[in-house]
Each structure stands twice: as structure tokens, then as C-alpha cells.
Amino acid sequence: MPIGKPTNKILAAGHPIIEECLAENTGGSDDLKPGMLCIKGTADHQVKYAGDEAVNVLGVIDYLAQYKITDAFPEGTSVRVLSGSIVAVLTLAASQTINKGDKLVAAANGQCKAYPGTPSAGDEEKIIGIAKESVTTGGAETKPILVELK
């Protein structure tokens, strides 16, 4: 059965492990938003967005009903981090051509991008998931993409 891409939530399929954390933001336009990949913040109970090809991705930030799905969470907001064997809507970085089945890694600002090339020794830990659909982004645009997290 095909998986539909939701427009108003992050989880598309599966039973996630849910961890409650606090948003740790930089104060810029790249603060945590739903669909961003995240890493541990300053303390274990804090999370911030994952950087380019991060190897320590904890999961994806879930949608909270009290905010628009496109809004950044204020500093200290209690957020849910979804992980495990799930299909989620992530944010695909600009200038990407992704085909269903492509391996993905973290991009700057919590987004995702195509894995560059063939995995070599030690690089498997960078792969965050597999694309469940084909999506292309232009030079200055990002788009939602269905990803099966590993």
C-alpha cells in the first residue's frame, strides 16, 4: 500500500520512539522547525538542528498543534523528537535531484540532501534514511520529502 505524504504533520508511517526535549536555538532564521533533523544541544535534554553530514542525528522534529507547521519554535519550547523505523516528512535542501530509493544525509540547517557518491568505510553512519519519493529542488527552494529513517 503506498504511503501518502501528509501536508499538516511530520509522521507518515510507523511507530516512532518519541523523546521530549527543549529547543535550543541560535536566534536566526534557521531555528528548529518541524521536519528538521536534530542533534544533541548543550545539555542532554536540549536539541538543535543537525549540520552538514552530521553523524550524530537523533531524529526529526515533530509538528506541534499550537504552532504552524512552517514556524520556528521559540527557545526552550518542549519539542518531540521522532526516531526509529518510521517514514517522516523532512525538508529537502536546495539544488537537489532525489530519486526514490536514494540514500540521504543531513544537510546544513537540519535539512537533508543526497548522499554524495558511493558509501565508503565509516560513511554509513552519515546516512539518515532512504527517499520514498522523487523530488527536485531549485537553487533557492526547499521542499518536503518522504524519507524512511534508518
User: For residue 35, which of 82, 1, 78 has the smallest C-alpha distance?
Assistant: 82
**95-115 pLDDT, tens digit each:** 999 999 999 999 999 999 999
Indicate the residue type of 58: L
Band of pLDDT at residue 62, cut at 50, 70 and 90: very high
Q: What percent of the chain has pLDDT over 90?
A: 79
Q: What is the pLDDT of residue 27?
A: 64
Distance in angstroms (rounded) separating the CA atoms of residues 65 and 141:
25
Distance of CA 61 to the CA centre of its chain: 7
pLDDT band at 3 (very low <50, low <70, confident <90, very high): confident
Separation CA 20–CA 81 (nearest Å):
6
> Could you tell me the sign of the dihedral formed by the alpha carbons of 149, 8, 97, 138, in that order?
negative
Distance of CA 75 to the CA centre of its chain: 19
Map residue 124 onto helix, strand or coil: helix
Q: What is the pLDDT of residues 34-61, one digit of tens each?
A: 999 999 999 999 999 999 999 999 999 9
Mean pLDDT of the chain: 92
Q: Is the pLDDT of residue 118 over 90?
A: no
Q: Tell me the C-alpha distance between 66 and 34, whole Å.
A: 12
| The three grid cell numbers given for residue 133, joined into one nine-digit string | 519519493
Tens of pLDDT, residues 67-84? 999 898 998 999 999 999
